[in-house]
Chains A and B, each alone.
Chain A
Amino acid sequence: MTKHQDAIAVTVAELNRRLHGPRRLRMDMVREVRDALCDAEEAYLAAGMTTDDAQARAVADFGDLDEITAEYQLELAARQARRSAVSIVLAFPMMLLLWDSLWRFGDTASGEPTRMTLILSDIIDGVSLVAAAGALLVLVMLCLSARRGRQSAVRGIARSAGLIGLATVVLVLATSGALQVANVSASVSLFRMPATIVIEIASAILTGWVIWMCAACLSSARKKVTRLR
């Protein structure tokens, strides 16, 4: 391997090292950059340059790696924000439907729900739906910020998506806990039903998904972005 082949490999490896975010997109970006450098190298070779010179020119033409990394990192943060928003839009309304159907159709044998039960379940419904609406807004903002070239807004949007998801998880878990305590007898009979166990597992998976997506979102939004225009 020549010195300049090393330079192309180093550029690609350096980009790979600096980028953080969804793995598939990151690999996709790095692969595209590698192709880009190879294309440029081939064009210079066809123009009669030596391999070393062609590769050196390809790397030089590519531009400032700091700036390119910063732009790519924003796209990774945006993609992670989209994934978080999708998890919020799907998970909370889905959990709402699952638990509501259980409380509604399950054999809770507890008669009319108390006022406290109604208030707490309204809080869960409200928080879940507000979160889903907030996440839909995040999806719209991601597209609009790209259309208007507002790259400086991306990190804020990503941070919002992450915080909406995590805050909703905390609120829904706390309220659900309170709901179960307020309805101990009904909860006990509910937990004897096999359907409850299935819904518990589904909720745990959905909640885990949201937490994972949102934590990753906050992490990729935190990555230092330099030389942003």
Chain B
Amino acid sequence: MRPDAVRGHLDSLLLAVLEDGPLHGYAIIEALQRRSGGVLDMPTGTVYPALRRLERARWISGDWENVGGRERRTYTLTRAGRRELATQREEWSRFSDVVGKVLRAAP
């Protein structure tokens, strides 16, 4: 999948993988790859600044925490982030429905 195509949806993807609980940066990247069945393959370096931006948006909060004996910057979905994820999910579902209807080959 083209990285540019993913980029427009990076925010919702990041919020979605944090839905189940706090994760550090690399675990977020692994979760993105795992949940996409290995199809999502963007430069890992783009994820980290995006996480900082989502922190500025107050959708996630980041803190250094001890994970498996190592200090790692761990990100948690905030309440505002959870609400945003629900909104983006709904928008995506409507959008993909509409585009799907148009793109589907006529019977």
- Do A and B pair up? The answer is yes
Residues of B within 8 A of A146 (CB): 53-54, 56-57
Task: Assess the B48–A143 pair: CB atoms within 8 A.
Answer: no
Task: Assess the B45–A68 pair: CB atoms within 8 A.
Answer: yes
Residue in chain B with minimal CB distance to A73: B49
Selected contact of B46 from candidates A39, A63, A75, A149, CB within 8 Å: A63
Assembled-state Cα–Cα distance A187/B53 (Å)? 49
Chain A 145-162 against B: per-residue CB contact (8 Å), 1 yes, 0 no?
011010100000000000
B25 within 8 Å of A (CB atoms): yes
B82 within 8 Å of A (CB atoms): no
Selected contact of A75 from candidates B11, B24, B49, CB within 8 Å: B49
B52 within 8 Å of A (CB atoms): yes
Known: A35-B72, A146-B54, A149-B11. A72 touches B49 (CB 8 A): yes
Query: How many A residues face the partner with a CB closer than 8 A?
Result: 30
Assembled-state Cα–Cα distance A75/B62 (Å)? 14
A229 within 8 Å of B (CB atoms): yes
Chain B 1-34 against A: per-residue CB contact (8 Å), 1 yes, 0 no?
0000001000100000000000011100010000
Interface residues on B, range: 20 to 34
Q: For the complex, would chain A's binding face be called helix, strand, loop or mixed by DSSP majority?
A: helix
Task: Assess the B53–A67 pair: CB atoms within 8 A.
Answer: no
Q: For the complex, would chain B's binding face be called helix, strand, loop or mixed by DSSP majority?
A: helix
Task: Assess the A75–B73 pair: CB atoms within 8 A.
Answer: no
Assembled-state Cα–Cα distance A40/B84 (Å)? 30
A62 within 8 Å of B (CB atoms): yes
Residues of B within 8 A of A64 (CB): 43, 45
Chain B 39-81 against A: per-residue CB contact (8 Å), 1 yes, 0 no?
0001111101110111011110000000000101100000000
A65 within 8 Å of B (CB atoms): yes
A82 to chain B, nearest CB (A): 8
Q: A33-B45, A62-B43, A72-B49 are in contact. List 7 more A-B contacts (CB 8 A).
A: A31-B73, A35-B25, A40-B44, A68-B46, A68-B49, A71-B53, A147-B59
By a beta-carbon cutoff of 8 Å, the part of chain B in contact with chain A is: 7, 11, 24-26, 30, 42-46, 48-50, 52-54, 56-59, 70, 72-73, 84
15 contacts between A and B (CB under 8 A): A29-B52, A32-B48, A36-B45, A40-B44, A61-B43, A62-B44, A68-B49, A71-B53, A72-B49, A75-B52, A143-B57, A143-B58, A146-B54, A147-B57, A149-B53
By a beta-carbon cutoff of 8 Å, the part of chain A in contact with chain B is: 28-29, 31-33, 35-36, 39-40, 43, 61-65, 67-68, 71-72, 74-75, 78-79, 142-143, 146-147, 149, 151, 229
The 3 A-B pairs with the shortest beta carbon distances in the complex, nearest first, are A63-B43, A71-B49, A39-B26
